[in-house]
Amino acid sequence: MPIIFENVSYTYGQNTPFEHKALDKINLTINDNEITGLIGQTGSGKSTIAQLCNGLYKPDEGRVTVNGIDINADKKKKKENFFRVGLVFQYPEYQLFEDTVEHDIAYGPKNMGLPEDEIKRRVADAAGFVGLDAEALSKSPFDISGGQRRRAAIAGIIAMEPEYLILDEPAAGLDPQGRDDILSKLKKYQREKGISVVIISHSMEDMAKYCDRIIVLCRDGIYKTGTKAEIFEEPKELKSMGLSVPQITKLVYRAGELGVKFDRPIYTVDAAFEDVMKMLDGGDGK
Amino acid sequence: MIRDITLGQYFPGNSPIHKIDARIKIIMTLILIVAVFLASSELSFALLLAVSVTVFLMSRISFKTLAKGLKPIVFILIFTTLFQIFFTRTGKLLFEWHFIRIYSNGIIYAVKMFIRIIVLISTTSVLLSYTTSPIVLTDGIEGLMRPLAKIKVPVHDFALIMSIALRFIPTLLEETEKIMSAQKARGTDFSTGSLMKRARSLLAVFVPLLASAVRHAFELADAMICRGYRGGEGRTKLNRMKMKFSDVVWLFLTGAVLAGVIILNAHPVFTLDAIFGI
């Protein structure tokens, strides 16, 4: 069962001079068992959507349903939503606080009231997924590197084994290797567990590489929803919203203008590399 | 939500009150406070009430905002007013029921006390908190304290500490809110459970918050050093405070109010006592 937004509006600082309408009658669906990318300019409401998904924010209008249940209907069941829809905030490493990384990852499962051995299993599982070894687990979260801290924080959410995993800019501020590392691990995790993952990002490259479906937000709401082929077929429209197609797609367009034709639309460097190699082998390359 | 606590309560605007120089506003506030405490005759209270209503109307702050600002003092207000009514034993006896006796002076003192507190709080908050941004206010304080630098008081350092503290309150509040949300998303419950449990929940907020405050402090210090900060000596300002003609007029008007209060105190033309027939 998916997460569905029906005519959802949300306003920050209602009835103050700082009032700001972040979302206006939004409709969207986050499907099961795929990676959804949420992309849009700063201020288009991406993070607001993330916090509406698990009930941290309550919509001013409309409803948010998870598995067919309005998550804001029953106040007593609020906590369950947090465990069902795991949310990793931007720069999650700043939320670490326990004395060891291991205890910090166990914090969520502990709050769920799970038995001790189940917590242990989940911590080990989650740590394994993000690639934290026993040595890192025994250290203080303030003594490990930035990339490791990020992974520890993500593991803290994964350990709750949510049905939906929403990550707000999971790769922001990491070096290119750390970026690929985290995102590919998330993809592997999604494929193995068959859960639904939402990745919020600014990077078209990451969207193209890791997401099955992309939702593009603009200031007035949702601009478009679709597969990467559907999203990237209109580079001009994307550009007018301050977004663009992946660099490699631009390059392939340019190559096409110069007479090097690719058989399929290209969105990732790997695909381009594959095709170029094929062309070279076929002998019609330059 | 935490963000609803508008710290310093500053409301941006463009009213004549907003435009008064911060230094003048501080002096005006001090003069008005003196006037409020000097006032004793009915007419001087009427004058002060008229002044504070005028200032409030000119500031274009909504009544709702002011009322919200007065909320915390409602208890003191009611308490002191009742105290005056029930425990003053002079003047004409107006009402008696068992041990409760209300005298005319009790009513008069209560009304005066009520006006005194309302005028005090509303003028200071309209003049200083609602219409002056905290940073400008700090600048104003620094400007007024400048002469103290001559006797080696580190005026600039104090002002800087104050500005930085004020500047980072919203940042830290925002951060607190973010951390609280993040911990809530991990199932932290801040509002139920035993005292120990709740204290432990707060730990999940305080540890990251402290870490981030320290981080901010180091980053800010580095950034200031990089931009050549070396204390107040020989430092010029981007926004220099300039006294305008209208500021001087405001100052004179406030002085006139103080003089008016003193004169009206000495020459009571009309008193409430007359109404009660004493």
Q: How many CB atoms lie within 10 A of CB B86?
A: 15
d(CA A95, nearest CA chain B) in Å: 6
Q: What is the pTM of this model?
A: 0.72
Residue-by-residue pLDDT tens, chain A, 286 positions: 789 999 999 988 777 767 888 888 889 999 989 999 998 888 888 889 999 998 899 999 899 999 888 888 887 778 888 999 999 998 888 889 999 999 999 999 999 999 999 999 999 999 999 989 999 999 999 899 888 999 999 999 999 999 999 999 998 888 888 888 889 999 999 999 999 999 998 888 888 889 999 998 888 788 888 888 888 887 777 887 777 788 888 888 888 888 888 878 888 888 888 888 888 876 554 4
Strand order in the sheet with A164-168: A85-88, A164-168, A196-201, A35-40, A213-218, A221-226
Q: Are A95 and B183 inside 8 Å of each other by CB?
A: yes
- Taking the Cβ of residue B186 and every Cβ of chain A, the question of whether any pair is shorter than 8 Å is answered with yes
Find chain B residues with C-beta within 8 A of A96's C-beta: 208
d(CA A204, CA A212): 13
- Taking the Cβ of residue B210 and every Cβ of chain A, the question of whether any pair is shorter than 8 Å is answered with no
What is the bridge-based pairing of β-strands A196-201 and A213-218?
A: unpaired
Domain ranges (residues) in chain B: 2-275
Long-range CB contact pairs, B120-124, < 8 A, 24+: B120/B33, B120/B36, B121/B69, B121/B70, B121/B73, B122/B52, B122/B56, B122/B66, B122/B69, B122/B70, B123/B29, B123/B32, B123/B51, B123/B52, B123/B55, B123/B56, B124/B29, B124/B32, B124/B33
Q: What is the dihedral of CA B80, B86, B89, B93, to 10 degrees?
A: 130
Instruction: Indicate if the pLDDT at residue B46 is higher than 70.
Output: yes
pLDDT band, residue B276 (cuts 50/70/90): low
More confident site: B1 or A24: A24
d(CA A16, CA B2): 13
Q: What is the dihedral of CA A79, A81, A82, A86, to 10 degrees?
A: 160
The answer for residues whose C-beta is within 8 angstroms of residue B60's C-beta and 6 or more apart is B13, B15
Find chain B residues with C-beta within 8 A of A95's C-beta: 179, 182-183, 186, 204, 208
Domain ranges (residues) in chain A: 3-235, 246-286
Find chain B residues with C-beta within 8 A of A97's C-beta: 203-204, 207-208
Instruction: Pick the residue of A16, A111, A150, A168 with the most B CBs within 10 A to test the interface with B by mutation.
Output: A111
- Backbone φ and ψ of B141, nearest 5°: -60, -40
Find chain B residues with C-beta within 8 A of A51's C-beta: 181
Q: Are B208 and A51 inside 8 Å of each other by CB?
A: no
pLDDT of residue B137: 85
d(CA B249, CA B173): 39
- Taking the Cβ of residue B192 and every Cβ of chain A, the question of whether any pair is shorter than 8 Å is answered with no
Of the candidates A256, A263, A213, A179, the residue with the CA atom closest to the CA atom of residue A274: A263
pLDDT band, residue B270 (cuts 50/70/90): low
Q: Report CA torsion sign: B222, B227, B233, B237.
A: negative
d(CA B191, CA A76): 12
CATH placement of domain A3-235 = 3.40.50.300
Q: Are A16 and B6 inside 8 Å of each other by CB?
A: yes
